[in-house]
Amino acid sequence: MHERYLQLLRRWFWLLIVFGVLGAVGGVFLLPVVFRSAAYDSSTTLGVTPFLSPQSANEADQALLASYAASVAGIAKSSQFLSRLQANLAAQGLVYSEAELPDKVQVKPDPGLPQVTIEAQAPTQREAELLVQEMTNLLMEEANARAEQVRGDVAATAQERTSQILTRLSQVYRQRADHLFLMGIERYGVTLDLLMRQQPDSFKSIVENLARISGDGTLAQLNAEADILEQELTAAQQDLALQFPGQRQAVYVLQPQKTVQTRSGPSLRKLDLMVGGLGGGLVLGWVVANAAEYARNGRGLRRGRAEGMTEFLAPKAVVRQRRGRQDRGTVAALAPAPAVPRLYGATRPVLLVAYPLWSFRDLYAFQKAVRRLPGVADARIQRFVNRVLELSVDVVGGEDLPEQLRGLAAFPHRLVEAQRDRVEILLEPAEGSHREGVAS
């Protein structure tokens, strides 16, 4: 049996080398990916501030901030945002599809609080941290850009309203000054120049007293309209200052990023991975080599059967006999033969494949006949399956086994294939012989 394995190694050693090298390389690069089970969790918290400041911090304002935090988290679900995130991660060497990103990194608003939490889980620390970092940077950039756009629109509206109030207030001031001149306020002991030089509070008190003393309804109406416009202007200026308290960001980092290892993975050295991959590659190579050897033998067997089996099974070549009767070919093979001296010296194994052999009696007779051939040191049975016999024949020196097989007078045969280390023959029945189990 060991000669057969040695022959297989000599013929298919290159397959073992190829699969061994591929296994070693795959062990170093693929085994850590397949068997790694480590997991890292990374997270950070972003705070949300009113980019348009409320005038008071009551419960309604807190609910508004929590609602805004939910809208900030919703930005991360848009396809445009995911496309930008995918491009940024690809630039860092992390390639994901848009469909995979929502599962890799999540943005969750904290219930009832003006903040959102970004979480990611990955098999390596670098991957988990990059997922959170890129999501944080892109989300802050997007949310603050939108807040800045809204802030600009609100500022333009507020400034336009303030300008309209100032224009109307200037018109009321001019109308009231003209009316005071026409009233002749000198008769009340006040000159117009003196009145105009008064402080705003004193000016307001004097014109109100003049309207009450004189009973002038027009002056009273102008005073009332001026008071209303002044109050609106003050409120508009205060509201503008409250809405824009400075260059504050709508979204900012509330808690720095933290990364923890939640599950540890196997720690194997590269040498261990290489040895493991090499062993697996050699095993796979041995299986493939056996399959290739079987396919190679099968091709020769099918070719021999195609060439001679039809003729062998012809009715004139087979004579039905009762079980246990010996045919002349078998008797001749079992007859005593002159002793052949045992040959010594350098031998080489040759695999002899012969078929069909219809009984174990024929098998042993054929083995003995081969052993008696000149130039043959020994013949050992390797395998006998489906009437196909494989013999490992030790041939002395440079002897040619096909030439020696011509001495098998008891077993007429046809040569199917002849190589240096493998010979295949198709046995033909002698005239008048029989093979058990074959129908005519």
The pLDDT value recorded for residue 375 is 85
How much is the pLDDT for 334?
40
Pairwise CA distance, residues 21 & 60, whole Å: 69
Distance in angstroms (rounded) separating the CA atoms of residues 205 and 201: 6
d(CA 172, CA 223): 9
| Closest of 178, 183, 233, 225 to residue 204, by C-alpha | 225
Which one-letter DSSP state was computed for residue 433?
A: -
CA–CA distance, 147 with 50 (Å, rounded to integer) = 9
Residues 6+ apart with CB under 8 A from 13: none
**Cis peptide bond N-terminal to 356, omega within 30:** yes
Q: Please report, as a single letter, which amino acid is at residue 104.
A: K
pLDDT of residue 30: 66
Nearest to 196 by CA among 177, 171, 216, 179: 177
pLDDT at position 21: 84
Find the distance separating the first CA and the last CA of the chain, reported in whole Å: 37
Half-sphere exposure of 257 (CA within 13 A, CB side): 19
| CB atoms near residue 401 (< 10 Å) | 23
**What CA–CA distance (Å, rounded) separates 88 from 86?**
6
- Per DSSP, the three-state class of 420 is coil
Q: Give Cα separations from 250 to 35, 64, 144, 150, 158 (angstroms).
A: 44, 13, 6, 11, 20
Task: Give ∠ CA 266-23-298 in degrees, rounded to 5.
Answer: 140
Q: What is the pLDDT along the chain (440 residues), one digit of tens a residue?
A: 566 677 777 777 787 788 878 877 777 666 555 555 568 899 999 888 765 554 444 444 566 667 778 888 888 888 899 999 999 999 988 898 888 888 889 998 888 788 899 999 888 889 999 999 999 999 988 888 887 777 776 677 778 888 888 898 888 888 888 887 787 777 777 777 777 777 878 888 888 888 888 888 888 888 888 889 888 888 877 766 655 555 567 788 888 999 888 876 555 566 766 777 778 878 887 788 788 777 776 655 455 444 444 444 443 333 344 334 334 443 333 444 444 444 445 788 899 999 998 888 889 899 999 998 888 888 999 988 888 999 999 988 767 888 888 888 889 998 899 888 899 999 987 554 444 433 33
pLDDT value for 312: 41
How far are the Cα atoms of 144, 241, 242 from residue 51, in angstroms, in the given order? Answer: 9, 12, 10
Strand locations in 171-279 (E): 251-263
Residue recorded with tokens 């030089």: 197
pLDDT at 229: 87
Q: How far apart are CA 303 and CA 316, in angstroms?
A: 23
**What is residue 45's three-state secondary structure?**
strand
pTM tops 0.85, yes or no:
no
Contacts of 435 (CB under 8 A, 6+ apart): 318, 356, 358, 359, 362, 429
The span from the CA of 299 to the CA of 83, in Å, is 56
Q: How far apart are CA 173 and CA 187, in angstroms?
A: 22
Tokens of 361: 């009696």
Could you tell me the two tokens for 22? 């591929």
| CA 46/CA 242 separation, integer angstroms | 23
* Sequence-ordered strand ranges (E) for 149-222: none
Q: What is the pLDDT of residue 31?
A: 58
- Alpha helices by DSSP H, listed for 244-269, are none
At 326, the amino acid letter reads Q
The CA-based dihedral angle spanning residues 19, 24, 26, 28, taken in that order and rounded to the nearest 10 degrees: 180
Question: What pLDDT sits at residue 409?
Answer: 84
The alpha carbon of 112 is separated from its chain's Cα centroid by a whole number of angstroms, namely 37
